[in-house]
Structure 1
Amino acid sequence: MASSALPSISVLQGLSALSTLSSSYDALVAIFSDLDSLSVLSELSATSSASIALARSIDKELGSTVALVPCADISGGRLVLSPTGSLDDDTDDVRKLADAVKAGVSRAIQAGSSLPAVIFAFSPPDAGALAPDADYSRWIEVCILAALDASYVTLVVREHRLAKAAQQEKAVVEKLDSLALVFSQNIDQEQISRAIKRTTAIERGRRLAVDMGYGDPERMTPYNCAELIQQAVSGVAGITFEEIKDLEVIKREYPLMYNSARASFSEKHTWPCVVKLEYRSPEPDSVREHLYLVGKGVTYDTGGITLKIGASMRGMSRDKLGACGVAGFVLATGAMQETSISLSCILAFERNSIGPNSLLPDEVVISRAGVRVLINNTDAEGRLVMTDPVAECRERIMAARRAGDTTPAAIYTAATLTGHVIRAYGWYGATVANGPARRAGYDRRLAQAGLAYGNPFENSIMRREDHAFVAPRTDREDVYQSNSQPSILTDRGHQYPAAFIIKASGLDKHSLKASDGLAIPFVHVDIAGSAEDGIEPGLGLCGITGSPVATFAGAFWSP
């Protein structure tokens, strides 16, 4: 694997400190809310005001779009102006800072910079004056993550560049060598140091997630995904890795996944596998919760015998992004050496192929929990591959409780599950929680963390109609897997799958009406919207965001 190297990050207080390091940067990126705030640049450059005034006289858009302004006495001669616009209007949030930083650093890279310095020439809004859906409390981390995002080179591109270098052609693998952060106002040094530690850990996890996500379906088969994860977590303290390849074991332990993957058995390189990751805190006495995470890892989704037609199969190599995000969060947590949580994760990787051995509508398959599932649509495979792992998590939680473990535990599924969530919310993720999770505010916790990290999630509520939709009408089955229509043509198309997972995994026995010792919080996280940026580059595919790595870190790590 061609590992991704993060640029070194340095922090400076004030431009006067930057002036002593003129040889250490080759572009200055100014993040500002209005042009008047750029007067601070005069501390560094005697000609900056004149350069900006000249640019302003010939470009009426200066101050509202990213601009490269030549400035002779700034190292490298490059001054990039990247405006945020307003930060305190009705729908403004921390993403405006992220957008400005990413755009500014990207412009510096395009101009030839590999050692940019970023100055934050603005003051974050007063929290008391903000809209209720804005949270700037993590603005430093959000800005660092945005700069790192601009510097990221995908795995497939890194491998291509290294191959060229091996042929003695000139090849630059990474975009940035270093990144300097310059704060015009005084910021507590401990706060900055902690922000850098958190963001470098998050970025390591995010890069694992997007490395896998960008890989095409042959580069990232189920086995190759497992290998990449194993390489990434190897040697990280507290993380253990296990891979299950044996089809007989998968058939016994994860029967719904096994049957969903049947058509892939004709080629061994497309066989399914299950990856288990465990993370244990270096300070067991500090653990306040044990999270059980399940990720959907469908490396290609043809729809199976319920074949995707037209252009709807395009992009289905990204149907693994739930598992990618969970793996990235585990790596980030290990890199952070987070003390407050323990993790148990199950990633279900398969290719939903089509062939003579395909799973068929009208089949009744019995889940790990002994629930009879009537198959109506083989293109609703994501809920199948996750349900048995959820059942296993339920079993493990109950076994731990019986053994006297009182650590609070909850189950989360992460999946690019439905097109409906995009129809409902656009390019945002959504949470759907059961009663115990709703009562404890677990879904709202994710939403709040998403606001702080610029990855907002909508909270969808599971209703009685969702359970009624999958409830059996005959004595021949216990639950319906889905209807026969695409989710985008189905009312409540991203909510009712959570009701199916609850029933088919046996979690219905752990609802609000169960005793406190039996109730288990469960949150389904549909990232079909948030895992991609929604920007289609011509005939190519959208960019991948690494969601929900940062949101999970914000929700589950200690502040």
Structure 2
Amino acid sequence: MALPKITAHTELSALSAIEHDALVAVYTDLDSLSSLQSSWASAIEPYRSIDKDFGQTVALVPSGAVGGNRLVLSPTGSLNDDTDDVRKIGEAAKAGIARAIEAGAKRPALVLAQAPPSPAEAPLDADYSRWIEVALLGALEASYVTLVVREFRESSRKGELENLDSIDLVVPGVIAQDCLKHVITRVRAIEAGRRLAKDVGYGDPERMTPYKCAEYIEQTVKGVKGIEYEEIKDLEVLKNEYPLLYHSSRASLAEKKTWPCIVKLAYKSPDPTKVKEHLYLVGKGVTYDTGGISLKIGAAMRGMSRDKLGACGLAGFVLATGLVEEPSVDITCILAFERNSIGPNALLPDEVVVSRAGVRVLIGDTDAEGRLVMTDAVCECREKILAARAAGDYTPSAIYTAATLTGHVIRAYGWYGAAVANGPARKEKWDHRLLVAGLAYGDPFENSVMRRDDHQFIASKTDREDVYQSNCNPSTQTDRGHQYPAAFIIKASGLDKHSLSAGKDAISFIHVDIAGSAEDGVEPGLGLMGITGSPVATFAGAFWTA
């Protein structure tokens, strides 16, 4: 998972042609780019003279004035129209670096030739405050080689393990050298987190079983300052302390390699006096989802090795936070890994299972396992917050769940994530922070509002259970299909006792459905979509101050 060496330059004159073997120029206006360097204009002019559209798409032209004789032009297009945002800069950097790699470059220079519009000139929903970071993250995304490919190349001795050796980042005239170095430090941490999320996420169901997910995360965070790792594999402990996870995974117990486990990551600030908040994070890590007895049919099971991306993303965020040694937060992170299998001992609809919080859950659909595997961990976080308060620690805190939970969120918003918050979280704008950070880092989130309908939908109508887990229809065929699961988690974890009416005992809770944002939405033929690493960058933007 090695990242390319990144060197910062604030002037073009500091860049030596010997040091790079391609130059990628990201720009908005080709005329302005040509005026930046006369030798570039000379290389570009022959093409412009015969093609009026030249420079509107990625192009590679020969130029003896740059290293490797490769000048890659990568335009952003407009940045000040109604729906323009910082993603266009990241996409241009990614496309330009990808073209350089295709041409054989190993040491490209990335020149961000033009600054985006100022806040006064930017579109309403555009935030260009992190544009340099977004551009560099786009470049690093183009250079990423998945774990499964690296392992294949290493075992077969075919191909290099990494696409790039280095990147020279040039941002002329808009940022001081020390500030640019700080940007690179943040980006390296975020990208390391995204690569952890992708490495585990891309793993097929056998490469990344629950235990192997845990093993890879442990290996990756080992030695990172401030991060402590713990795992729970004992089935009796899981049955007693995480009963909904245990019963959801019953069919997987026939093979030890698919047994469930809990991974706990704890991050402690290097300076306790600077801690402003404590984040409690719970991630869904379903390494393969057959639907269980409520079997996914037709093509619905395709891609279900990606049902662990919520846990992957949160693990990546904790890693990134440790790498930057962020002083303002402490983090308690619980990742619930299982394979939702089908078999004679599978969980069945009509069963009533008692949660960690003592809430009787009527199972309606075993394919709605994500809310089950996370709920007891949410209850544990609730217990930890109450214990801290009882001990006199009133550090502001919130519980976040992250999961590829529903197809409904994709039907509602397309390839975007959504945050669904309870009353205390909305009051303190914990959900709004994700929206703001997502815009700045090119990973936009939508804020969905929880309504009374969501609580009414899962409320028991008999004395035989306390809450309904789900109906028996797909979320895409259910009204408010990505909102009401948050109401279930609240009720089954005991968080319903900590709403706004609880006053000082209120606890903020935000459910983040990343079924849309965790993948890029691009189907490569019959292959699976690309993994984005969401929500690592958004969480960094929302919760880091350094």
Q: TM-score range by the shorter chain?
A: over 0.9
Worse-superposed segment, 215-224 or 126-135: 126-135
Query: Is the CA contact 2:10–2:176 (under 8 Å) kept in the aligned structure 1?
Result: no
2:98 counterpart letter in structure 1:
S
Aligned equivalent of 2:5: 8
Verify: 1:22 aligned to 2:14, yes or no: no
**Alignment length (residue pairs):** 546
2:394 counterpart letter in structure 1:
T
Please point out which of 194, 204, 211 is paired with 2:199. Answer: 211
Aligned equivalent of 2:356: 368
Q: How much has 1:75 moved relative to structure 2?
A: 1.5
Aligned equivalent of 1:536: 523
Say what the alpha-carbon RMSD is for the aligned residues. 0.9
Q: How much has 1:248 moved relative to structure 2?
A: 0.4
Secondary structure in structure 1 of the residue aligned to 2:361 = strand
Calculate the TM-score normalised by the size of structure 2: 0.99
Aligned equivalent of 2:376: 388
Query: Is the CA contact 1:376–1:480 (under 8 Å) kept in the aligned structure 2?
Result: yes
Aligned equivalent of 2:73: 81
Aligned equivalent of 1:338: 326
2:104 counterpart letter in structure 1:
G
In 2: Cα distance, 1:475 partner to 1:183 partner: 66
Aligned equivalent of 1:249: 237
In 2: Cα distance, 1:328 partner to 1:148 partner: 15
Secondary structure in structure 2 of the residue aligned to 1:514 = helix
Aligned equivalent of 2:154: 162
Q: Unpaired segments of 5 or more residues in structure 2?
A: none
Calculate the TM-score normalised by the size of structure 1: 0.97
Cα deviation, 1:111-167, whole Å, max 9, x if unaligned, reads 0001100111112201012222110001111111111111110001111111122xx
In 2: Cα distance, 1:366 partner to 1:406 partner: 30
Verify: 1:42 aligned to 2:27, yes or no: no
Aligned equivalent of 1:419: 407
Q: How much has 1:50 moved relative to structure 2?
A: 2.6
Aligned equivalent of 1:553: 540
In 2: Cα distance, 1:42 partner to 1:223 partner: 54
Cα deviation, 1:278-336, whole Å, max 9, x if unaligned, reads 00001011100000000000000000000000000000000000000010001000001
Query: Is the CA contact 2:17–2:65 (under 8 Å) kept in the aligned structure 1?
Result: no
Q: How much has 1:182 moved relative to structure 2?
A: 1.2
Aligned equivalent of 2:461: 473
Verify: 1:180 aligned to 2:168, yes or no: yes
Cα deviation, 1:431-465, whole Å, max 9, x if unaligned, reads 00000000001111110000000000000000000
Query: Is the CA contact 2:35–2:41 (under 8 Å) kept in the aligned structure 1?
Result: no
Aligned equivalent of 1:326: 314
1:181 counterpart letter in structure 2:
L
Verify: 1:64 aligned to 2:51, yes or no: no
1:437 counterpart letter in structure 2:
A
Q: How much has 1:41 moved relative to structure 2?
A: 4.6
In 1: Cα distance, 2:182 partner to 2:170 partner: 16
Q: How much has 1:193 moved relative to structure 2?
A: 1.5
1:341 counterpart letter in structure 2:
V
Cα deviation, 1:25-63, whole Å, max 9, x if unaligned, reads 0001011101101124535x3xx3232111223434322
Aligned equivalent of 1:239: 227
1:5 counterpart letter in structure 2:
A
Please point out which of 495, 520, 525 is paired with 2:507. Answer: 520
In 2: Cα distance, 1:40 partner to 1:58 partner: 20
Query: Is the CA contact 1:8–1:178 (under 8 Å) kept in the aligned structure 2?
Result: yes
In 2: Cα distance, 1:532 partner to 1:480 partner: 30
Query: Is the CA contact 1:93–1:135 (under 8 Å) kept in the aligned structure 2?
Result: yes
Please point out which of 80, 96, 108 is paired with 1:104. Answer: 96
Please point out which of 47, 56, 59 is paired with 1:55. Answer: 47
In 1: Cα distance, 2:59 partner to 2:176 partner: 31
Cα deviation, 1:313-372, whole Å, max 9, x if unaligned, reads 000000000000010001000001100000001000000000000100000000000000
Please point out which of 355, 366, 371 is paired with 1:378. Answer: 366
Query: Is the CA contact 1:15–1:41 (under 8 Å) kept in the aligned structure 2?
Result: no
Query: Is the CA contact 2:242–2:376 (under 8 Å) kept in the aligned structure 1?
Result: yes
Aligned equivalent of 2:397: 409
